[in-house]
Amino acid sequence: MMRRSLRPAPREVNVGEDPRSRESRLPPEMSQPRTAQPRTVQPNGTIDPGGSAMTVRPAASALPAGPATDDARVHGDDGWPPVTEESARERVAGRCFGLRPPRLVGAELEWLTRTRSGGRPTAAHLAGALGAHAPGSVAPGSPHAALPAGGSVSIEPGGQVEISSAPLRDVDTLCAALTADAAALRALLGARGIEMIPGAVDGVRAPSRILTVARYAAMQERFDRNGPLGAAMMCNTAAIHVSVDCGADPEDLALRWRALNAVGPALVAAFADAGDAVVGGDGHGGMTRAGRWASERMRTWLTLDPGRTGLDAAAPGASADPVAAYTRWALSAPLLCVQREDGDWSVPGDVTFAQWIAGDAAAPDRAPTAADLDYHLTTLFPPVRPCGHLEVRYIDAQPAPAGDHGQALHEEAWPAPIAVVDALVRTPETARRAAAIAESTRGEWRRAAQRGLADEELRGSAQALLGLAAEAAPGGATQAIESVARRIARAGGSAVGAARSSSPQDDRDDVRAACRSALERARRRTRVLTDVPDDQLTAQHSELMSPLVWDLAHIGNQEDLWLVRAAGGRAATPPVTGPQDEPWRSHDSGDAPAHDGAHGLDDLYDAFRHPRATRPALPILGPEAARGYTASVRAHAMAVLERCGFDGDPLTAGGFVFGMVAQHEQQHDETMLATHQLRTGPRLLHAPAAPRARRPLGGDAGAPGAVRSDRAAPEVVVPGGAFTMGTDGAPGPESWALDNERPAHRVEVAAFAIEAVPVTNRRYARFIADGGYRRRELWSERGWRHRLQEVLEAPQFWSRAGDGHWVRRRFGATEDLEPDEPVVHVSYFEAEAFAAWAGKRLPTEAEWEKAARHHPSAGHSRAYPWGDEAPAERHANLGQRHLSPAGVWAYPDGATASGIHQLIGDVWEWTSSGFEAYPGFRAFPYREYSEVFFGGDYRVLRGGSFGTDAVACRGTFRNWDHPVRRQIFAGIRLARDCADAAGSSSSGADESGDA
């Protein structure tokens, strides 16, 4: 654990609108479902309990006037009374989430356009071609007639054309209607010399808007603050959007929400378009051809404000309560642009809608109204946007398909992604399976956009999702899905998207991407752990642990100290005030003194100054303030990351300090996971079940929860001799190794035998049955005294059911004991006593590392037991992917060459070694991370647990804790001197006989 001693448009607006177009994008039938909170804010500020949540409000000029007043801060400029935080939350929830049984699907298809000369058509040219079908943006007063099959046409700022379908009953009907409307649109435009170009990106022409209204100029001004690709996004990209119903009830909504967000990166990779087949040329469109990403369109979105695009860890896509999470996120999003009645569009600074409600000094000089809020919602572009239905926005427009030998095919490629999205949430079970398949790549938007199918993990997820979709889709859609699946299979390990030549800039970009990915992954997990009711966030569930809200703000404070200040040279980030949270108010601060200023946080969140038991009495930040503060810090930290050169300063070289902060957050995430285990009440966390044992020890497990006699675990003999322990932090998996893992040094280790798998519940229950907790001779003096004092009789969270068999409590649920799962929640003293009962001992730290890293034939140390490849889902149970250890033998791909399994993940393993410095140790970047703990009453644990993230788990990583600790996810692996291991197996074969 890291320790520091360092206004609105005067028109109708629609929640389903795209930033680039003035026309409504919301399929009208989908806009009228039963709503999650069916209340509508009226112009007089009252709540209409029967109003449709998706009712489109009248234009501002048609609204009744508010009470006469000269105070624009009271009523705003449009006649609507101002919104309060409460009414804003109600309005977001009501307008964005509509509940009804899923039955409809809709889509929007976009195409790039060009004239016969290759240029962009003008607005007048498009209006002339479209006639009665032209939208008002290019033909004011047009009837905007529907196309033959019911779709409507809109025009994007760069001249892209879009068809928005009506919502229809199934994918086959939808695709037939879109095919007919696309043919009609192509004929209309073709008659005027305008060509529709399939594909997601125009990499040739410089971005140029043909829609020149002031609002778009304001939008572009805002986007340009992030770089040139904002204009490219508006003018040079095309997408496919798929809309499905929210679901029948809140549980169904949560399931569909999580699934559609989880599968996003894998589907980005599956349908990525790098732009090769668009127009061709030399890259003058604001996107470079050299170093082209797999999805150039998604690349443009990733350059924009993540608080608007939802492509960062702060996005609400993983939440089990999407209404609350999205509402909170939407109100915390920055304003894009604001209009007054005089027609002037202004681009405010970095002010959120919540800060506007609160009257922040930097906010617009009038109060926001419900119409302002409605417009604000149209300027948010998360990967899955709730618009009364769920709009999936992350899929590239598809280039013309090619046959198996690269020939052009005279058909469309867009039906496949529509069919896939619909199929993956077709039933609750399919949605659950889809979310589980994609869990390991959830949130990996940047990696998906950059590498696409060249990324092995993303390709595997995409293949599995396509298989599931083909299985779930109705008959007519299966062929299109299977065609994509064959393409993905052909991609294999080939580099999809041009490989980049190595250069110093490329190296820096790689480091930056790795740092960004690690930070974003950690923040996604933090949000899962803290996206709980406020009373659960602020309660202290055990004196051993902090309130979760303390951990949350501490994570932000450490990130501010090290990334914003130390690495970025910036001022400390101040706490964020909000309309509901005082900046320095805890959930129960009593008479504790307040602390003023950003630096006051440094004291509040100093783990050394304030032991865990005392933290609830501190004037710590409340839930909303803590969330706002960590989000604000993250925005500043990411700005530092984008400008970092990664050389010169040892703190930033190789991205070390960013990696250190990511590891710190993940370590606190594991601590918060332990807090969730200690809390009482119903389960708040959910994850797929862990894999079961592949070959149970001791035969049939019998009735649920029954523990039969076990067999001795097989052993592997590790030959004696010297090996390299620790690391010097060479480039690769160990480049972010912390100071206590350094330096690399040679260690002589005598031959020893070590068990091939961790000790199981079955074996440990046998120890209990044999009187292990009553036999003084098995325990050390300190251990026995502690056992008597704490009345230890079984691992923490174990208890007897009514019939006497063992059960355990896990994250709020009582479960039968899984016999062939590693035992967890045992102290060092319990592990020591078990080893004595088994006639063995705990391994030393050096023995453990040699077993995990030393390659017996190559004679060198590797990063992980299986080699130097970064941990993947097939290797180990890590990162809270599951909420328990997996059964033994469940990860054969993660074993050592000599057959030792599950050294990484599942449970931390106690060693017999105290926590000491390695020879030549040098504290970096501060003493209080490791040095102050050397020589104390700590025992080293190795290997990580199911709650440890891969960034903080490698063959050299050292954890340490007091020997009495049981709330940590710690288990046991046994060893013995080789002289006592004569005749034991080195192949991992089971021994015969009962223990």
Annotated binding site for gamma-L-glutamyl-L-cysteine: 612-615, 961, 965
The 3-state DSSP class for residue 409 equals coil
Q: How far is CA 747 from CA 689, 860, 911, 915, 959, in A?
A: 40, 12, 16, 16, 19
Is the bond preceding residue 758 a cis peptide, omega within 30 degrees?
no
Calculate the CA 704 to chain-centre distance: 35
Rounded CA gap, 924 and 939, in Å?
A: 22
- The 3-state DSSP class for residue 265 equals helix
Element (H, E) at 154: strand 152-155
Tokens 């325990």 correspond to 779
Q: Which amino acid belongs to residue 288?
A: T
Residue 502 exposed, middle or buried by CB count within 10 Å (0-12, 13-18, 19+): exposed
- How many other C-beta atoms are found inside a 10 Å radius of the C-beta of residue 509? 15
Cα separations in angstroms, 932 against 60, 545, 929:
64, 21, 7
From the annotation, which residues make up the binding site?
Answer: 554, 612-615, 664, 668, 961, 965
Instruction: Classify 975 as helix, strand or coil.
Output: strand
Question: CA 113, 114, 117: angle at the middle one, nearest 5?
Answer: 175
Among the listed residues 506, 504, 956, 441, the one whose alpha carbon sits nearest the alpha carbon of residue 735: 956
Do residues 175 and 418 lie in contact, with contact meaning Cβ atoms separated by under 8 Å? yes
**Token couple for 671:** 């601590």
Whole-Å CA distances, 148 to 153, 165, 183, 411, 915: 11, 11, 10, 20, 75
Instruction: Please list, in sequence order, all residues whose beta carbon lies within 8 angstroms of the beta carbon of residue 946, skipping any fewer than 6 positions away.
Output: 690, 877, 878, 880, 881, 882, 883, 884, 885, 886, 905, 906, 907, 969
Distance separating alpha carbons of residues 216 and 737, to the nearest angstrom: 47
Q: At what angle do helices 504-530 and 548-559 cross, to 10 degrees?
A: 160
CA distance 386 to 423: 19
Which residue, 137, 177, 172, 180, is CA-closest to 158? 137
β-bridge mates for residue 152, sequence order: 164
The CA-CA-CA angle for residues 765, 771, 777, to 5°, reads 120
Task: Tell me the DSSP string of 577-607.
Answer: P-SS--TT--TT-TTPPP--STTHHHHHT-T
Exposure of 837 in the CB half-sphere (CA atoms within 13 A): 24
3-state secondary structure 513-537: HHHHHHHHHHHHHHHHHHCCCHHHH
CB 749 within 8 A of CB 913: no
Of residues 319, 329, 680, the one with CA closest to residue 535: 680
Binding residues for Fe cation: 554, 664, 668
Look-up of token digits 């990063």:
863
What whole-number distance in Å separates Cα of residue 214 and Cα of residue 471? Answer: 48
State the alpha helices, DSSP H only, in 134-197.
171-190
Provide the b/e sequence for 550-579 (b: ≥16 CB within 10 Å): bbbbbbbbbbbbbbbbbbbeeebbbbbbbb
Angle at 946 (CA atoms; ends 943, 948), nearest 5 degrees: 65
Region class of 280: left (phi > 0), else alpha (psi between -120 and 50), else beta: left
